[in-house]
Structure formats: structure tokens, C-alpha cells
Structure 1
Amino acid sequence: MRQRGNTGYFPAYPAHRVAPAPSGPDTGYRHFVPLRGRHVFSRCGIRESSVPFVTKEDKITVALLADTRFENRRRKIAAHFAAQRLDSMLVTHLTHVRYLTGFTGSNGGVIVNKDLSAKVATDGRYTTQIADQVPDLDCLCARACGPDLLREVEGPRRVGFEADYTSVSELEKLKEAAGDNVTLVPVTGIIEQCRLIKDHTELDRLQAVAELATEALKQLLDAGELAVGRKEHEVAADLEYRMLKLGAQRTSFDTILASGLNSAKPHAGVSDKIIDDGDIVTIDYGAHLDGYNSDCTRTFIMGHATDFAEEIYGVVHQSQAAGVEAAVAGAKLVDVDTVCRDIIDRAGYGEYFVHSTGHGIGLDVHEKPMASTKGEGILEPDMTLTIEPGIYIPGKGGVRIEDTLIITDGAPKVITTMSKDLTVIG
């Protein structure tokens, strides 16, 4: 946890933060007791001796204010409520629950009110975990998080729900729980819009996981594990193992390691094909760490480079470099796509560039913004964007080069730093 400096004065903050008390069945409600003094303080990872000017009881406030990013995120979404006359918003999409609270369990929900009060819910498996991860909110213990949070609402109120992530059957359960006093309002895009601009914690984590993944690929190449005669899945397994050994919790998506004719398939995955001399090998891979993901693609040539491989590599390299240069604050997303696409078009390979130029990355591997022929909006500082043009010619092969960028007030910051020069291995 990043500690923030203090002035010796902290505004009043509710002290009724929760830890589960052993009462009530897992299928119903569970009562909670407040955390006091050093218990909250140590739970938040701050040494008591490091914070001056406060009593032991005041240290509850210090611990809870030391990291306010989740409260700030809830404030950002609440700012959108007035436009739809919302009193509250129910959030059950787990990625968004994590974004708003820090809770990482597999069953959870949160209801955020326009006065910025909020309540989380999870089932009995996670009561200890949620007390650790969300010390600043009251928690309801129930299996059906969305419906049970709605039953806590005192109407009449207008409550938004995530229309894009709610199935028909789930909506029926929400309606039943809402009763006559709660009006359910379908909401789309509010949280996604807030997630576009990353906070400093998010940017730090994205930088760290990108560096980890870059180091794993460097180690793979230095060890000679990408080699003629090896199978695609063997090399992919070595790369994934190196990411895990360096600290990744998992891969961010299924690794793509496509050699020879397989490189003409943008999402080829991996196979038991043996890598041959002269093959183009495209590696699209990523690591997942502390909720955040990396995404990078590099293409290599094995043994010797054919004229065809050198030509399309050069075109993609030029296109990708131009896209990185164009991805500045204020640029239209559609224009970034056009810059990359025009270079490939002029080289005569336009029909073989079959996907968008890039996407945002964060808690999800693919998230807004999107740089494509239909891309909407402009780039702003602290957004993320991949730039990944490619050429894929069936029966011959393909090349893709991808970087992840952080948009700044100046030139974009490239956080996937592996060399993009044409590399012939062996």
C-alpha cells in the first residue's frame, strides 16, 4: 500500500468498519463488529510508529485514509448518477466490484449510493478476505449478492444495474428482490468510462507487469529456448513458466506462439508443430499480476530470413512505429488506426490487415479505448493503448508487432521495451 503524507490532522471518518463475527448461517445475514485501534491499523499494513500526531483510536482514521483510491473511484461513478436520476447503483460484474472496492473473491457485489455511502456483499467463504481487502465498508453476507443487496434498499429509490453484464434470468431475480419500492434502471458504460483514465496505482501495476513479461521473454531468448526443432507448445510453456517464476500469478490470456504457416492466423494459439528453419514465429503473450495485465507481441525469424519475411516485417515495423508516434493526447482513436492502416495499404497488403490497431488494457486485457476504423473518442493522459498492426497472408505467413503504451502529456510511454528490430535466431 502506498502511504500518503499527512499534516497531523485528519477529518472525521466513520469508525464502524467491519470484521466478521461468528454469528448467523452462511446462507443468511452475518453480523459484524467494529475494528478498533491497532487491529485496523495493522490490517492496513502501516506501522503504528510511522504515523505521528494521532492517538491509538485516531489510527483507525489514518489507516483508512492512507489509500483512498477506491473511494475516489466510487465518487467518479456517483458523479454520473444525476444524468439518469439514480439514487444508487448495484454493481455485480466482478471486475467492476474489484475496481470499486478491491475485493477479489469469485462472488461479490457492491451498491453505491449518491451520498457516497456503499455496502459490499459476499458469501461465507470470503468473510475474512473481504474484511482484509475492504476495511472501509459494511458487508452483507449472502449467497445471492445482487438480490440481497437490493433487499437492503429502503425505497422509493431508483437503482441502476449493469445492463451489459446482467442476464435475463438474473434480471428477473433482481426485479423480485426490488419489489414495488425500487425502480431498476438499466445502465451502460458508466464504470467503463471511469476506467479509461488510470490512477497512479494502476499505472504502477501495469508498468510492473509489463517489465516482468519483458524480462521473461528476454530470458527465454538468452537461454536458447526458442529454437529450430522444438515444438510450439514447448516454447510457449517455457515462456509461461518464466513469467510465473518471476512472480506472475498467471498468464493474462492464452499464449499465442505461431510458427510457419500458423503465423498467418492472428489468433493461432499453440500447437505441436515443430519450428522449422526459415519459419516466421509470432509470440503474443502476457502476464497477470495484482489484477493487472500485460500484452506484447514480437515476431522472430528462424535460421534465415526469406525476402518475403523481410518485406512484410519491414512494412509492419514501419506501420507500428508510426502508430506509436501518433498515439498522443488529443489524437482521435480512428486517426491512430488510419496512420497504421495507410502504411500497410500503400505497401499493397491492406487486405491482409484484418483487425483493429489497438485496445486499452488494465483489469481486462481488452478494454476501452479502441483504436479501429470505427474508433470513437480521443486519447487523454493516463489512458493505455496497444499498437499492434499485422499482415497475415494465408499459405505464406504473417507478422505482428505490438507494444503497450501509457498516454502522457508528451510522447507516449512504451512499457513493453523488448527490441522490435528484425531478429533472426539461429
Structure 2
Amino acid sequence: MKDYPEAGELSKRIQAFQSILQNNNIDGALILQSADIVYFCGTYQNAQLYIPAFGCPVLMVRRSMERIDPTIIPLEVKVFRNSKDIGDILLAKGISESATLGMELDVVPVNIFRRLERIISCSFVDVSQYIKELRMVKSSYEISLLRDSAAMLENVFCSIPGLLKEGISELELAAEIELIARRSGHIGLIRVRGFNQDFYYGSLLAGSNGGVPSYFDGPLGGTGLCPAFPFGVSRHLIGVGEPIMVDYVGTVNGYQVDMSRVFALGYLPDDLLYAQEVAIAIQNTIASHARPGVLWSRLYDMAISMAEEAGLSKYFMGCDEKVKFIGHGIGLELNELPIIGKGINKELQTNMALAIEPKFVFPGRGAVGVENTFIVTPVGLERLSQLTDVEVIV
């Protein structure tokens, strides 16, 4: 179990963000979102973080102060009880009518924003994109946490073949896998940025349930257990010859990795085996071409071309409702930058973390494919898990 990052790690992140604020004539930023507070403070409590363009940031803690160690966090720590206290603290820090204050307007609820608007007299601007771009390049410390999560999740996936048996339900199998994950140190929480993006561990989809489309912005869906949460694992009983797609997120110490594998009892039909081989080939081709300076869209176009050449474009990354990406950044949140997607002409950078997930969805039959988490190095992608990509037949 790792503790707070070293103060120097947090100071570098804060200083990098302050440079962004200075370059964009923003006087300071009020950070409210949990993952962003963890990024700059190394911990999360019921708190709000003010980072000025110049000077020492202040963490305003509502509760619990006794769980904050101000000797470790390289900033000022104050108690606040209500929104007026925040206004008073920011006014003392120089935020007045002529100031420009940044906020994470992609995620801050409107009622909280309106309340702050009434209390703090200044101009507000959105700084969420600056924070997301800062967070997409990982430090060596962050990469070490990703390695911890990958090692845990790889061990969990290695246990799955021993749990498979005909007639077990998806729900029962998921419960057994998730018990092993928790015992292995999985913290359970999957952070996903955005509104109504609830998520739990990941997806386990067998047979026809793997072919059900998703409301979630991903290629896999599933019926879920009830209409109130129609996503993921169901009570479907697993049978011989069905693809069992396990797509789970692993998180230890707050940093997440994403992994998918296909299992089956007895056999898989030849056409699904072929699609699985194509998915692995797409992943490996992307991994061999991805390096700093390569456009995100180029990798996406490469994957689309390979699916078309294989005669499987109809089923690639969804069937009737396809997603427009084949990979995504990952770290404190599941859906970080970069987005390896259509028409996004930005370049890969060293130390980005990304999950590559070529998948094929066959309505009424199921899903196949693969997913691994990689780090962009100066010479290409480094894969965090060495677990075989080939489907496992039990």
C-alpha cells in the first residue's frame, strides 16, 4: 500500500498547472472534482482546492481534517464550513471582481456553480481541458501505481479458468471473480469522468448478452440485472461454445488499468475464433506503430482498415451502434486522454497511458476481442501485462 506521493511530486503538478494559468491570464482555479483533487493533493476528502496562478495553493477542508496531514501536502490547509467561508478565503487570496477564476465546468453541478457565482464576484472560465491534458502524461510515480494495478488484475484474470463451469450464471461468476479481486487489493471504486457515468468493476458478458448494445460509450453493453441499471452482467446461464467476454478495470492506490479477455467452455465457433485473431492482430499492429509524434487518428484509421480487410467491419467496435474510438487514456479515471479515435489529429507523447481495445460484437451471439493497458515510451508502447491474449478454452 503506497501512501501520499512525495511532496516534490505534488509540487511539480501544481507548478505545471500554475504555468498554464499564467500563460492563459487566469488568476486562479477552484478545483472541486475528486480525481483532480487527488491529482494535486494525493488524497481526497470533502474539500475544495484553490490554486492561484502565483503563490501557495490552499486546500479548504470541510471534513475530515483529522485525515489530512498538512506536513505532507505542499500547500496551505484551512477549514471551511460553508460557501461563504470559501468566498472569504478566495477574497483574501486576491479573487475580486476584476479576477478570472477557473473551474472544472465539464463536471461541476450547476447548482454548486450558481451558489459560488453568488458568493464570488469575478469572471469564470473552464479549465477542465487544461487539467485533463496535464494529467494525460504520467510521471514515473504514476506509472509505478499503474504497474501495481496491472499486476493485481493479471493475477485475477489468471484465476478465471478455474471458476468456469457449465450452467453458472454471469452474476455468480462475476461475484467469484470480484471476491478474488477484492482479496487481491482492488479498492472497488472505478472513477469515470462525466454525468451519469456509473460503473462497477467492468463487464462480464457471455453468449447473447455480449451482443446487446450499450447506452454507455463503449462497444460492450449487456442487459444488466434490471432496467434501472441496464448494463453489464446478467443472470444468463453460461453454456458450451459461448464467448465469455471479461472486460474488467483494476485499481490499486487509485490508478486504474483496463483489460479484456475471451474465455469459452469446450470450444468457440470458427468465425468467432477468426474475429478474435483479427482483434489481436489489430492490437499488435497498433502497438508496433504507436510512438511519440504519431497522430491518434492514424492509429484509429489503421484499425478500421484492418477490420475492413478482414471482412469484419460490420461488427467492429459495436454493430449497429458503433463507437468512434479503439483506445482511450487511463489513470485516475477510466476515460482520460488520449482518445484513439476518428479525426483526432493530436500526437502521442511519451508517458501517456492508454488502453487499446479492438472488439467485435455479434448480435445474438456475443463479443470477442482483447484489451490491454500500455505506456507510451520513446521507442513505442510498453505493455503492462504479459497475460496471453489468446482465448482460453476450458
TM-score (norm 1): 0.79
Unaligned runs of 5+ in 1: 3-43, 46-63
In structure 1, how many angstroms separate the alpha carbons of the residues matched to 2:363 and 2:135? 37
Change (3 A) 1:376 1:129: farther
Matched, 1:160 2:160: no
Partner of 2:366: 397
In structure 2, how many angstroms separate the alpha carbons of the residues matched to 1:373 and 1:327? 16
Tell me how many residue pairs correspond in the alignment. 359
What is the one-letter code of the residue matched to 2:205? Answer: A
Partner of 2:168: 230
Contact 2:261 2:391 in 1 (8 A): no
In structure 1, how many angstroms separate the alpha carbons of the residues matched to 2:7 and 2:43? 14
The secondary structure found in structure 2 opposite 1:81 is helix
Contact 1:228 1:303 in 2 (8 A): no
Question: What is the aligned counterpart of 1:328 among 274, 277, 291?
Answer: 291
Contact 1:264 1:399 in 2 (8 A): no
What is the one-letter code of the residue matched to 1:393? Answer: F
Deviation at 1:373, TM superposition (A): 1.0
Question: What is the aligned counterpart of 2:115 among 173, 176, 180?
Answer: 173
Partner of 1:267: 221
Alignment of 1:26-425 (within 5 A): 67-105=7-45, 107-123=46-62, 125-131=63-69, 134-144=72-82, 147=87, 149-154=89-94, 155=96, 156-179=98-121, 182-221=122-161, 224-250=162-188, 252=190, 253-254=199-200, 255-265=202-212, 266-268=220-222, 269-353=232-316, 354-355=322-323, 356-425=325-394
In structure 2, how many angstroms separate the alpha carbons of the residues matched to 1:384 and 1:419? 20
Deviation at 1:134, TM superposition (A): 4.9
Instruction: From the CA coordinates, give the structure whose radius of gyration is larger.
Output: 1
Contact 2:242 2:365 in 1 (8 A): no
CA displacement 1:129-188 (0-9 Å, x = unmatched): 123685432222124465564344333533222222233322221222213xx3333334
Deviation at 1:91, TM superposition (A): 1.1
Contact 1:251 1:287 in 2 (8 A): no
Deviation at 1:316, TM superposition (A): 1.6
CA displacement 1:192-231 (0-9 Å, x = unmatched): 111011011110000110110001111232xx20222211
TM-score (norm 2): 0.85
Contact 1:326 1:339 in 2 (8 A): no
The secondary structure found in structure 2 opposite 1:191 is helix
Deviation at 1:295, TM superposition (A): 0.8
Contact 2:18 2:52 in 1 (8 A): yes
> Sequence identity of aligned pairs in percent?
23
The secondary structure found in structure 1 opposite 2:74 is coil
CA displacement 1:305-327 (0-9 Å, x = unmatched): 22222222222222222122222
Q: Which has the higher contact order (CA 8 A, sep 6+)?
A: 2
In structure 2, how many angstroms separate the alpha carbons of the residues matched to 1:262 and 1:149? 53
Report which stretch shifted further, 307-316 or 229-238: 307-316
Deviation at 1:251, TM superposition (A): 5.3
Change (3 A) 1:144 1:401: farther
Report which stretch shifted further, 144-153 or 403-412: 144-153
Over the residues paired in the alignment, what is the CA RMSD in angstroms? 2.2
In structure 2, how many angstroms separate the alpha carbons of the residues matched to 1:110 and 1:78? 13
In structure 1, how many angstroms separate the alpha carbons of the residues matched to 2:145 and 2:343? 29
Change (3 A) 1:144 1:151: farther
Deviation at 1:75, TM superposition (A): 0.6
Deviation at 1:82, TM superposition (A): 2.8
What is the one-letter code of the residue matched to 2:109? Answer: S
Contact 2:283 2:358 in 1 (8 A): yes
